[in-house]
Chain A
Amino acid sequence: MAEIVSRVKRDYIASLIQQGKRADGRATDQFREVSVEKDLIKTADGSARVKIGKTHVLVGVKLQKGEPFPDTPDSGVLIVGSELLPMASPTFEVGPPREEAIELARVVDRGIRESESIDLDKLVIKSGEEVWSVFIDIDVLDHDGNLIDASALAAIAALTDVKALKEEGWTLPEFPLKEKPVAVTVVKVNGKLIVDPKLDEEQVMDARLTIVTTEDDSICAMQKGCAGSFQKEEIEQAYVIARGKAAELRKLLG
């Protein structure tokens, strides 16, 4: 169920952005208010809630014993899932995850996996037989745009909340978290780049580029989305914006 965006709204947002302004008065490189809360869910091994404006995402991490993948017998398993709950938006429907939800989970997964944020090699109980599986599940409760940044931030926040388990087979002093990747999505509207799009800005965007950076400002994952395109200069500019914003967001992880 797609929402039809009125032409008036589209024109208003696009013409302001062209002048370097935004409908809600923010600067083009300004996030809405971001909050990060941790340790909310007892049944999870780590959990976090991120709110960016009215966008509200909750992530739970669970560690469970399981079999390794045959091609990586000496590594733990990382699985990221996401549900765009129909409670979060009038346009989200009940049913199996659709491409939007799957892309969301996969982009979050890639940032964590490629930055080697979790030292999966330490999560082996018995080589080739038993390892710890890290399940990161994203519950989207309110959707007002920029779900990727909110979900990625909640995921890494929830990982920082994971403590050493008191279960048999767990031998590490703490959860082996090495890196805190942060995703920042830069969106192009009417030829201009902005960060943290609200839903109505997403509805008029030409293209979207998510850049996940690590603590040393290098890139570990990217994802371009939507029908429009970026020039090379725009991508370079987006990278500068993304690493600056990532540093700000990373401070909220505590």
Chain B
Amino acid sequence: MDKPEKLMIDGKRLDGRSPEELRPFKIVAGALERADGSAYVEMGNNKVFAAVYGPREMHPRHHALPDQAVLRCRYNMAPFSVDDRKKPGPNRRSIEISKVTREALEPVMFLELYPRSVIDVFVEVLQADAGTRTAGINAASVALADAGIPMKDLVSSVAVGKVEETVVMDLFKEEDQWGTTDMPIAMIPRKKAITLLQMDGHFTEEEFKYALDLASRGCTQIYEAQRQALKEKYTMRKEEE
């Protein structure tokens, strides 16, 4: 893919969005059969499943902690999820993303309720655009709630960045590849507490403050959609007759 001449035209982005707009997104709670909890998320062209098992017994046992549950996350990309086929199995990138995903979710967990056990979170990216980790965290958070695991709140996530001197919300592939800055963020929107923050590129102080504010707005919108997805699955329906 060649670099486009411009990433912003007349204040609009190449996919027609304004700088502060999210891509179209979709969140479904309970999208898989076997898992204790699950979710399916689309953000732009990302297609991601998350599944949760547990709390269950830790194998091998010596990996368990005596006074709390272990939260274990595995982020994985399907080989066909990217343009150049990805070799199956973990790599340095997926191991890092698994770690920051876990740390994005840990602040809302009550792990002390389940000593010696493990809560497994599996994220599978079927189709990658940009921001797969943020889509994965959004799905994982809904899947944890769907599994009935106690949480202080849901975690919502979006990447913000900079293309051609403009701070933008929720980068898509071309912007991720050719833009100046990418900053994935996860937060507990109600508390404005940030649980994932990574950044590469360049921000001035002013841009950074604005980017944080923009991310916060995006997370709030996603948070509402996550809540809606759970409500849709669990709302008590009255008999129609």
Interface residues of A (CB under 8 A from B): 1, 40-44, 47, 54, 56, 58, 60-62, 64, 81, 83, 85-90, 94, 96-97, 135, 137, 139, 141-144
The 9 closest A-B pairs by CB, nearest first: A60-B80, A87-B51, A87-B122, A44-B80, A137-B79, A54-B33, A62-B85, A142-B33, A41-B127
Contact B120 A139 (CB under 8 A): no
Contact of B76 with A by CB under 8 A: yes
- Which residues of the other chain, A, contact B38 by a CB distance below 8 angstroms? 87
Contact A41 B124 (CB under 8 A): no
**Closest residue of B by beta carbon distance from A1:** B59
How near does chain A come to B13, taking the closest CB pair, in angstroms? 19
Which of B34, B78, B122, B128 contacts A142, CB < 8 Å? B34
In B75-90, the 8 Å CB interface with A consists of 76, 78-85, 88-89
Contact A86 B120 (CB under 8 A): yes
| Interface class of chain B by DSSP | mixed
Indicate with 1 or 0, residue by residue over B75-115, a CB within 8 angstroms of chain A CB atoms: 01011111111001100000000000000000000000000
How near does chain A come to B128, taking the closest CB pair, in angstroms? 6
Contact B78 A137 (CB under 8 A): yes
**Closest residue of B by beta carbon distance from A51:** B33
Contact A42 B79 (CB under 8 A): no
Task: Give complex CA distance A64, B82 in Å.
Answer: 12
- The A/B interface has a contact count, at CB < 8 Å, of 87
Which of B34, B47, B50 contacts A90, CB < 8 Å? B34
Contact B49 A87 (CB under 8 A): yes
Contact B74 A86 (CB under 8 A): yes
User: 21 A-B Cβ contacts within 8 A?
Assistant: A42-B127, A43-B80, A43-B81, A43-B83, A56-B33, A58-B126, A60-B79, A60-B126, A62-B80, A64-B84, A81-B79, A83-B88, A86-B74, A87-B34, A87-B122, A90-B34, A135-B85, A137-B85, A141-B32, A142-B32, A144-B33
Which of A43, A88, A96, A135 contacts B127, CB < 8 Å? A43
Contact of B53 with A by CB under 8 A: yes
Which of B47, B49, B76 contacts A41, CB < 8 Å? B47
